[in-house]
Structure 1
């Protein structure tokens, strides 16, 4: 477990800036439509594809404007920055990898995303303590090999990180047996290749 003093917001290094990686992803719609986000080749970093993102944000369209979003496994930042582009009020991003975190800062600066906070901490550490804020929309897309879903979903609920009627977006391997809290209601679910992507809404206990 950690406290807020240990989970300091990461700062952009100025003396030796990290070079932009070779890979990129494009924001689909909103104020930054067509802007390109560059990200490094880091183990476990698997950006959500354009087709999945288009479907997801069509699902979220009525609820996204003015929402408080958490991108718990930010990676390339594709989900979080897309949410901001489409009208989310604020975005918190968690990314412990130093190089990937640096690229998130670079992209935040490129977009002028003033309503974005980026923390250099693992999601399972951040969520392990009682919540200091609550989120309307949470994106859960961890590295598939680590099997972090059970712990992270429990922490989100038990530690108070979710607003009433919050939406939780989850990506898993195609045949993964996902277990969610009983009062989370499955709204939509689809498959794309070897990935299942689902949207839940938190109901009353």
Structure 2
């Protein structure tokens, strides 16, 4: 997502970058990402930990990558056996690059279902049909988006008993998780807090 304060980083926003698929059928594949200000993919270290937590939940899962950015989390889920991933990204340029990367990965393969939506996640929350098995919430930092999105997920019945919700945020943020979201795992990496909830 092309917004400021996504994650602390020393990376020069003027240089094009890459993301790497770290597991599954596309393991080791590197994909180009745009050098948009504020576009910061989840680090490989954090991603590896997250997908170790979720390894048994991914096969045939329906996944929402709510603040997709580069699509790093959703693409990793596809590589590891998710049956459907919906990406929502506000930046048209980032969405275009994400569609191109999906097409590159799926060449010669029977593709799982993918849906890249360009727009604000808060506007899209009312347009989904049915709940997701896994939701990734990795919004831009310091913009007050996370707790509103959590509320929207619940109001829209987009998570259900058994769903998993991953949250990545600045450490200073208080996450207003619903009472039926049980904290399953939590870690910090630098200034970033990341956690996984299981919906009861």
TM-score range with shorter-chain normalisation? 0.7 to 0.9
Residue 145 of structure 1 deviates from its aligned partner by 2.8
Displacement of 1:96 in angstroms is 1.8
Compute the RMSD of aligned alpha carbons: 1.3
Contact 1:65 1:86 in 2 (8 A): yes
Alpha carbons 2:78, 2:112 under 8 Å: kept? no
Q: Tell me the distance in 2 between the aligned counterparts of 1:37 and 1:131.
A: 28
Q: How many residues align?
A: 182
**Given that residues 72 and 139 in structure 1 are in contact (C-alpha distance below 8 angstroms), is that contact kept between their aligned partners in structure 2?**
yes
- Give the aligned partner of residue 114 of structure 2: 116
Query: Which residue does the alignment assign to 1:190?
Result: 187
Alignment of 1:97-116 (within 5 A): 97-112=91-106, 113-116=111-114
Report the CA distance shift for 1:130/1:78 in structure 2 as closer, same or farther (over 3 A): closer
For structure 1, which segment, 81-90 or 156-165, has the greater mean C-alpha deviation from structure 2 after superposition?
156-165
Which of 135, 139, 142 is matched with 2:132 structurally?
135
Unaligned residue ranges in structure 2 (runs of 5+): 1-14
Cα–Cα, structure 1 residues 46 and 104, in superposed 2: closer, same or farther, change >3 Å?
same
Q: For residues 152 and 31 of structure 2, what CA distance do their matches in structure 1 show?
A: 30
- Output one character per residue of 1:1-55: Cα deviation in whole Å (capped at 9) or x when no partner: xxxxxxxxxxxxxxxxxxxx71101000100001112111223321000000000
Distance 1:43 1:119 in 2: 20
Number of the residue aligned with 1:90: 84
Q: Which of the residues 16, 19, 34 maps onto 1:22?
A: 16
Q: Unaligned regions of 5+ residues in structure 1, if any?
A: 1-20
What displacement does 1:94 show?
A: 0.3
- Moved beyond 4 Å, runs of 4+: none
- 2:63 aligned with 1:69: yes
1:202 partnered with 2:199: yes
The alpha-carbon deviation at position 131 of structure 1 amounts to 4.2
Partner residue in 1 for 2:52: 58
Contact kept, 8 Å, 1:37 with 1:78, in 2: the verdict is no
3-state SS, counterpart of residue 52 of structure 1: helix
Alignment of 1:30-45 (within 5 A): 30-45=24-39
Q: Cα offset for 1:114?
A: 4.3
TM-score, normalised to structure 2, is 0.87
Preserved CA contact (<8 Å) 1:70 1:138: yes
